[in-house]
Chain A
Amino acid sequence: MADTTETLPLTAEKGRFSETLERVRRSSEYVVMPILALIVSGILFSIFLFALGKSPVDFFSLVWRGGFGTSFSWQNTLARSAPLVFTALCVAIPARLGLVIIGGEGALVLGGFAAGAIAIPLIGVVPSYVLLAVMLFASMIAGGAWIGCVGALRHFRGVNETIASLLMFYIAVSILNFFVEGALRDPSDPNKPSTAPIGSENMVGFIPGTDVHWGLLVGILLCGLLYLLMNRTTFGFAAQIAGGNLRAAQAQGLPVGKLMVISCAIAGACAGLAGFFEVAAIHGKANASLIAGYGFTGILVSFLARHNPLVIVPVAIFLGGIAASGGLVQRRMDLPDATVLLLQGLIFLVLLVSETFYGRLPFFRSKGAQ
């Protein structure tokens, strides 16, 4: 993931104006290429639909209507994209170090579980802002520790982080189920094993004028903060150097282990926050509904955003919109649920392949670098 950085080598010999122009032109590559990739995947998917005897025009107009076309569609889309922002950050931050974490779902599940579990003795005892603050920290600590472990295992034991995080997802699910169906089960609801409900008076509310909870705004702010951390601080630069070449970074005396563990812990804390909002804003309690695949869709979001925290927000909204329109597509076109999965896979593939064209299309090529 070394090639996903925003910084480009500058050509110093130009005048300032033409230099700026040059930079804008070359930076525009990062906007134009993904859009081109989206168009190409749209065309490929249209061919697929056409071959099945379905109308691509209907399909894309329904995607537009269901995801973005009405004010309700926007609410739907935004509500679905909120958790994706957090889980995408769980992939993006370690990616700067060249780590591929695919088990963010595990941190989400444990974060949500920790929030639900720690609330049990406090419900009705402390005011809601205290309760929510405690739950918030619990979820961040649980998620952070979980993925932090993945980073530590990678650095201190050389255990591959991709596989380890996936294995730990399955383990996180068994931890959740063990407690939620066992010691921490709320006896008043035997039909859906859950922790005790925190009560509607304690729940995180909606952003005024919408039915989207505050998590989305927190997620957007977090993206901004983490962008600054990764691009404007020594920590971020060190992480980028380590991501570029681990051995060289070690040789230069960078604390690679610390960088890895901290990045992974931040990542896990982000996913844990997703779990917190699921519990505190949606379900009101921790249960197996936390395992909804947000962590896995987050992988897609982060890769499409090229692991740039600022780009994660629009990409999460884009994918949230596709998810939101999936229902409408099913209802109107009689296409199965897997249609959205297929479209996502196709977009992902084409976007990854588009990486290969960066710097190779004549328009974006630096004249000085020839």
Chain B
Amino acid sequence: MGDDTGLMTVLLAMFAGAIRVSTPFLFVSLGEMLTEKSGRINLGLEGTLVFGAMSGYAISYHTGSPWFGVLVAGVAGSLFGALHGYLCKLPKVNDIAIGIAMMLFGTGLAFFFGKAYIQPSAPRLPALSLGGWSDHPGIRQALEINPLFLLGVGLAVLLWWALKNTRYGLVLRTTGDSAPAALALGININLVRLLATTAGGFLAGIGGSFLSLYYPGSWTEGLSSGQGLMAVALVIFARWNPIYCFWAALLFGAAGALGPALQSIGISRGYHFFNAAPYILTLLIMIVSTSPKRSLKGAPGELSITK
């Protein structure tokens, strides 16, 4: 196999991987972005994601409708989000700690009730074939795209626009940037944060349902490899910008495909590190792009992790 063919294989695999693997990252990071824009952080989205994956799969199995499963996963996620939002508004309660507890709690619930759904085969989400124009089977395969991916892209653009140009966006940004200023404007800070966290949970639940209902497309307890937590990192280097969230999610997806793709062309030495590429890459990007001197551009001023 020539070098060019090998390189092409890897690039194509990373391109395809970016599209396949990025969707949960995209949804969870958009959800986390919304939450953080309001001035709170939710580390519990990992638990939300896992519960969303389980509940979506279970509902799809029982009703035969994967889309209904997606919806229920979102609703379940928003319940987790609302609980997080409600608990964090209590005085002296730390949002990071609550997040860790919610992660444990959500994962525990998902594993507890998910036992019965590991084996059954539930109807999966369909794919749209957008690669009909190409003769290359690899490209055609890469462009077998799930509607949720497109929905996520649309949502990223919509959120980007809405944050900048709508009253809701302004209220959310003000709440996150400066609680005193928001109070002065007569904004109900707790309500805004509650709603933002609930919406964030909704999106994380949908991200989870993508894992179980499309790719890799089954419910197991090992399904999430920390996607929910990684999304928190992803939001930081996406600078709380929904469009950047999209690019960052694609990058994560591509990095995740790197290890297997290199092994497929015979480069196996050090595969452990290639497999860890998304984590190494994130850390490097965070080291390069942050600064101790000034707050990050776009960082909500009220956010505990950037204070």
Interface, chain A (partner B; CB < 8 A) = 1, 3, 100, 102, 153, 155-160, 162-164, 166-168, 170-171, 173-175, 177-178, 181, 246, 299-300, 303, 336-339, 341-346, 348-349, 352-353, 355-356, 358
Check B236–A160 contact: CB distance below 8 A.
yes
| B86 and chain A: residue at smallest CB distance | A353
Residues of B within 8 A of A166 (CB): 226, 229, 233
Task: Enumerate 16 A-B pairs (CB-CB under 8 Å) in ascending A order.
Answer: A158-B291, A158-B296, A167-B282, A167-B286, A300-B104, A303-B97, A303-B101, A341-B111, A345-B103, A345-B106, A346-B105, A349-B105, A352-B101, A355-B90, A356-B90, A356-B91
Given contacts A174-B276, A338-B111, A341-B111, contact A163 B92 (CB under 8 A): no
What separation, in Å, do the CA atoms of A26 and B47 have in the docked complex? 36
Residues of A within 8 A of B306 (CB): 160
- Across the interface, A352 reaches (CB within 8 A) one of B87, B111, B232, namely B87
Task: Digitize B218-240: 1 where CB-to-A-CB distance is under 8 Å, 0 elsewhere.
Answer: 00000000100100110010000
Q: Does B184 belong to the interface (CB within 8 Å)? A: no
Q: Does B1 belong to the interface (CB within 8 Å)? A: no
Check B93–A163 contact: CB distance below 8 A.
no
Check A303–B100 contact: CB distance below 8 A.
yes
Of the listed stretches B172-180, B187-195, B267-275, name the one at the interface; the rest are far from the partner chain. Answer: B267-275
Q: Does B216 belong to the interface (CB within 8 Å)? A: no
Interchain nearest-CB distance for A194 vs B (Å): 15
What separation, in Å, do the CA atoms of A235 and B287 have in the docked complex? 28
What separation, in Å, do the CA atoms of A175 and B270 have in the docked complex? 10
Check B290–A342 contact: CB distance below 8 A.
no
Check A342–B112 contact: CB distance below 8 A.
yes
Residues of B within 8 A of A160 (CB): 233, 236, 286, 290, 305-306
Within 8 A of A (CB), among B27-73: 43, 47
- Across the interface, B275 reaches (CB within 8 A) one of A157, A174, A300, namely A174
Check B283–A156 contact: CB distance below 8 A.
no
- Across the interface, B96 reaches (CB within 8 A) one of A100, A173, A343, A345, namely A100
Check A344–B90 contact: CB distance below 8 A.
no
Check B87–A349 contact: CB distance below 8 A.
yes
Known contacts A167-B286, A170-B279, then 9 further A-B pairs from the complex at CB < 8 Å, ordered by chain A residue:
A100-B96, A157-B287, A303-B100, A342-B108, A349-B98, A352-B94, A352-B98, A353-B93, A358-B92
What separation, in Å, do the CA atoms of A246 and B304 have in the docked complex? 12
What separation, in Å, do the CA atoms of A355 and B98 have in the docked complex? 11
Given contacts A167-B279, A178-B270, A342-B112, contact A352 B97 (CB under 8 A): yes
Given contacts A299-B100, A341-B104, A352-B94, contact A163 B286 (CB under 8 A): yes
User: Total A-B pairs in contact (CB under 8 Å)?
Assistant: 137
Interchain nearest-CB distance for B104 vs A (Å): 4
Interchain nearest-CB distance for A264 vs B (Å): 15
Q: Does B266 belong to the interface (CB within 8 Å)? A: no
Check A178–B290 contact: CB distance below 8 A.
no
**Closest 5 pairs between A and B when the two form their complex, measured CB to CB:** A345-B105, A342-B108, A338-B111, A345-B104, A341-B108
Interchain nearest-CB distance for B48 vs A (Å): 13
Interface residues on B, range: 35 or more
Within 8 A of A (CB), among B74-132: 87, 90-94, 96-98, 100-109, 111-112, 115
What separation, in Å, do the CA atoms of A344 and B102 have in the docked complex? 11
Of the listed residues B91, B115, B236, the one surrounded by the most CB atoms of chain A closer than 10 A to its CB is B91
Check B233–A167 contact: CB distance below 8 A.
yes
| B295 and chain A: residue at smallest CB distance | A158
| A338 and chain B: residue at smallest CB distance | B111
Given contacts A157-B290, A349-B101, contact A337 B111 (CB under 8 A): yes
Given contacts A349-B105, A352-B87, contact A171 B283 (CB under 8 A): yes
Residues of B within 8 A of A303 (CB): 97, 100-101
Q: Does B280 belong to the interface (CB within 8 Å)? A: yes
Residues of B within 8 A of A178 (CB): 270, 272-273
Check A159–B273 contact: CB distance below 8 A.
no
What separation, in Å, do the CA atoms of A156 and B93 have in the docked complex? 28
Q: Does B292 belong to the interface (CB within 8 Å)? A: yes
Check A342–B232 contact: CB distance below 8 A.
no
Check A163–B233 contact: CB distance below 8 A.
yes
Given contacts A352-B93, A355-B92, A356-B93, contact A344 B236 (CB under 8 A): no
- Across the interface, B104 reaches (CB within 8 A) one of A167, A173, A344, namely A344
Residues of B within 8 A of A345 (CB): 47, 101-109
- Across the interface, A344 reaches (CB within 8 A) one of B43, B108, B226, B233, namely B108
Check A356–B287 contact: CB distance below 8 A.
no
Check A1–B305 contact: CB distance below 8 A.
no
Residues of A within 8 A of B91 (CB): 356
What separation, in Å, do the CA atoms of A348 and B102 have in the docked complex? 9
Residues of A within 8 A of B115 (CB): 336, 338
Check B87–A171 contact: CB distance below 8 A.
no
Given contacts A162-B305, A336-B111, contact A342 B105 (CB under 8 A): yes
What separation, in Å, do the CA atoms of A87 and B101 have in the docked complex? 17
